[in-house]
Amino acid sequence: MTTQSNEINQNQAYHYHWAEGFKKSLPVAMGYLPAGIAFGVLAQVAGVPVWATIMLSVVLYAGAAQYACLKMLSAGEAISSIASNIAAINLRHVFYAAPLLHAMPSNKIAKIYCLFALTDETFSVMTSLPPETRARLILPISLFNQSWWVLASAIGVMIGSALSDLVPHLDFALVCLFAILAYEQFQSIKRYFPIGIAVIALMIASFFTSNWLLLVAITICMLLILARGFWLQRSVQGGSNEQ
Separation of alpha carbons 136 and 18, rounded Å? 9
In what helix (H) or strand (E) does residue 107 lie, and over which residues does it extend? none
Question: CA separation (Å) from 49 to 54, 74, 204, 211, 215?
Answer: 9, 11, 39, 28, 29
Question: CA separation (Å) from 2 to 7, 40, 229?
Answer: 9, 51, 50
pLDDT of 174: 59
What do you get for the CA distance between the two ends of the chain, in Å? 57
From first to last of its 243 residues, the chain has per-residue pLDDT tens of 555 555 555 566 667 889 999 999 998 898 888 888 888 888 887 888 889 889 999 998 987 788 878 877 777 777 777 787 787 777 777 778 888 888 999 899 999 999 999 988 898 889 888 888 998 999 999 999 999 999 999 998 888 766 555 555 555 665 666 666 666 666 666 777 777 888 888 898 888 887 777 778 878 888 888 888 788 777 766 655 555
pLDDT of 14: 67
pLDDT of 114: 92
pLDDT of 112: 92
Separation of alpha carbons 45 and 163, rounded Å? 10
Separation of alpha carbons 221 and 158, rounded Å? 39
The CA-based diameter of the chain, rounded to the nearest angstrom, is 71
